Amino acid sequence: MRVRVHSIPGRDGGHALIFGDIERVTAPLVRIHSRCLYGDALQSDDCDCGPELDQAMDMIQRADAGVLLYLEQEGRGAGLEVKAEGLRVAQNEGHDTYSAYVALGHQPDYREFDTATRFLAENLGLRSVRLLTNNQDKVDALQIGDIAVTRVPLITEPRSRRAREYMEVKRTHRGHLLPPMSFHRIGRLADPVFLTLAVTVTAAAIYWAPRPLAVAAFILMVAIVQAWHPARTSVRLRLRAWRRKLTQRPQATPSR
């Protein structure tokens, strides 16, 4: 694949790698990745940065085109030293990595995506992207920058207990759109098994039970699948994207 490289100046900048001919794609795959020396370069098992980057690059390669914005926002924008200090506090004092930052007098996350958004919109002329992320902040930043976003989840296997805990904290404390960790514990097999079970129980309830019970069973099953299934967030975002499409004027063809 042809790769073009641009530097993105600014405090929240970095580099952009443009793979293949994104001009031919209506909504190219985009990964906005904040530098993580431990995860990306040293393949640390403690976070999901390395697996997320690997999966994003695999998907861009399969699509034959895409954009990687690699931002110099190490340690959620606080730098490598604060990150190391945060990890030490987290491991010794039982904090998670977010509350460790707060205990050290920092904000949990300093990162900004304004410069990245402007680069996509102004330098690359993108008005619509498929964003590889679990982070709602990135989706919001692009949408505020008038870029239509279809979120593509990155579901990675945690490589250790610590990575699993880290991802669970991301999900519960920072609102990252990750499946609950029970999903990983039970494994990928559980997904089709669970859905089959849900459909079977519902069908049996409709056939055997009195009508109100059957309706209640159906609603309960839908609620369980909604709460549990990893695709649930993308359904919600897709509905939001449709709402946006209905309420906004049609997007002009991007000029580059």
Catalytic residue numbers, as ranges: 109, 111
Exactly one of 36, 89, 163, 167 binds Zn ion (CB under 5 A); which one? 36
Q: What is the 8-class DSSP label of residue 179?
A: -
Separation of alpha carbons 8 and 4, rounded Å: 13
Smaller CB distance to Zn ion: residue 38 or 228? 38
* Stretch near Zn ion under the rule CB under 5 A, chosen from 19-27, 30-38, 224-232, 234-242: 30-38
Asked if residue 164 lies in contact with residue 46, where contact means CB atoms within 8 angstroms, the answer is no
Q: From the CB of 122, what's the least distance to Zn ion, in Å? A: 29
The answer to whether 124 contacts Zn ion (rule: CB under 5 A) is no
Query: Cβ neighbours of residue 14 under 8 Å, at least 6 residues apart?
Result: 7, 8, 35, 69, 70, 71, 72, 73, 116
Smaller CB distance to Zn ion: residue 51 or 145? 51
The gap between the terminal CA atoms of the chain, to the nearest Å, is 20
Smaller CB distance to Zn ion: residue 45 or 112? 45
Which of these, 127, 30, 121, lies nearest to 70 by C-alpha position? 30
* Stretch near Zn ion under the rule CB under 5 A, chosen from 44-52, 120-128, 145-153, 201-209: 44-52
Q: From the CB of 12, what's the least distance to Zn ion, in Å? A: 17
- Using CB under 5 A as the binding rule, the residues of this chain from 48 to 107 that contact Zn ion are 49
Which of these, 70, 225, 231, 76, lies nearest to 152 by C-alpha position? 231
Smaller CB distance to Zn ion: residue 46 or 141? 46
Exactly one of 13, 39, 158, 179 binds Zn ion (CB under 5 A); which one? 39
10 Å Cβ neighbour count for 28? 24
Q: From the CB of 65, what's the least distance to Zn ion, in Å? A: 26
Q: From the CB of 34, what's the least distance to Zn ion, in Å? A: 8
What pairing do the DSSP bridges indicate for beta strands 128-132 and 148-152?
Answer: parallel
Q: What residue ranges bind Zn ion (CB under 5 A)?
A: 36, 39, 47, 49
